[in-house]
Amino acid sequence: MNRAELRKRLADTLFLSAMLDLTDAEYCVERGEGAGMVQLGTMIVAPETEKYAPYRQRWSRTFLPTDRAAMCAQLQAEVGAVRVALGDTLCCLSLAGFAIDDVVAAAEAFQRAGGDFIELNAHGSVQPWASQGYLIGMAQPQYRQRLVAWAQALAVLEIPLVIKFNTRLDVDFAQVLQDLWHVPVWGYHFNVRDPQTKLPRYEFVERIRPLVQGPLLCSGYAWTAEAAQRLFAAGADSVGVAEPVMSDRQFISRLRQEIGS
């Protein structure tokens, strides 16, 4: 499937947004009915050293094996389970790591497993990594060079690249996109939740849409048909849901019906 066809498939859909250590294939299959796309992960690649051992133990399902064969086998099993159960539903891998070579290897393994596109997670706030310039920290100006370098390494792969950001950061995202303009990033995913209003930041989506060259994914408090429709009207190609699906397996399917398409 070429990138234009992939974007067409993604348009006007709801998707199951990744949640750390929760959205594996089993979870996506159980709750993905009605979704145009499901996200596996966020999966993290990290050395199997003592430094990361406590985190591997706490988030055991989050860390991908560093052994390349084992990594490929796990991703093939995950994608295969989604394909068998959800058919034509698109499958994305939300991905993070600490060395670009490891992240590239995981992206390539996901592509070989039959995945549709990857998402570089510059959204998660897991510490101490975020404050060290990984995950959400990559959007900060002092770590922007790392973000651009990683995007360049991933964007040249066969599998399309989306980058996810969190708008709660005090960051000039117009400048972030300008810094990435020369990189062939396929699309962007913004978490647009406003913790004060408990609604999406619709005005942010309207402002950022002209600056995004490809598909724009938005998630965060899009829990009603009205909220989803307003995000589509503001320019989102696809709207993501996460938290409500934890307690209601049919949430996306019912929301899709309420939207009426």
Give residue-wise pLDDT tens across range 131-141. Answer: 999 999 999 99
23 bridge partner residues: 41
pLDDT exceeds cutoff 70 at 123: yes
Name 63's Cβ contacts closer than 8 Å, sequence gap at least 6. Answer: 43, 44, 45, 46, 52, 55, 56
Q: Residue 196's CB: how many other CB atoms inside 10 A? A: 6
Name 207's Cβ contacts closer than 8 Å, sequence gap at least 6. Answer: 174
Q: Residue 50's CB: how many other CB atoms inside 10 A? A: 7
Do 121 and 135 form a contact (C-beta atoms < 8 A)? yes
Q: Which CATH class is domain 3-259?
A: alpha beta
Question: Sorting pLDDT into bands at 50, 70 and 90, what band is 28?
Answer: very high
pLDDT exceeds cutoff 90 at 186: yes
Q: What is the pLDDT of residue 231?
A: 98
Name 70's Cβ contacts closer than 8 Å, sequence gap at least 6. Answer: none
Q: What is the pLDDT of residue 49?
A: 86
Mean pLDDT for the stretch of residues 151-177: 97
pLDDT exceeds cutoff 70 at 77: yes
Distance CA 96, CA 66 (A): 13
Name the pTM for this structure.
Answer: 0.96
Q: What is the pLDDT of residue 210?
A: 97
Average pLDDT of the chain is: 95
Question: Sorting pLDDT into bands at 50, 70 and 90, what band is 261?
Answer: low
Q: What is the three-class DSSP state of 249?
A: coil
Domain ranges of the chain: 3-259
**C-beta pairs of 87-90 under 8 Å, 24+ apart in sequence:** 88/9, 89/32, 89/35, 89/36, 89/37, 89/38, 90/6, 90/9, 90/10, 90/15, 90/36, 90/37, 90/38, 90/116, 90/117
pLDDT exceeds cutoff 90 at 209: yes
Q: What is the pLDDT of residue 56?
A: 83
Q: What is the DSSP string of 193-243?
A: EETTTTEE-HHHHHHHGGG-SS-EEEESS--SHHHHHHHHHHT-SEEEE-H
Q: What is the pLDDT of residue 51?
A: 85
pLDDT exceeds cutoff 70 at 183: yes
Q: What is the pLDDT of residue 178?
A: 97
For residue range 39-61, list pLDDT tens digits in order: 999 999 988 888 888 888 888 88
Mean pLDDT for the stretch of residues 18-43: 95
Percent of the chain with pLDDT over 90: 88
236 backbone dihedrals φ, ψ, rounded to 5°: -70, 135
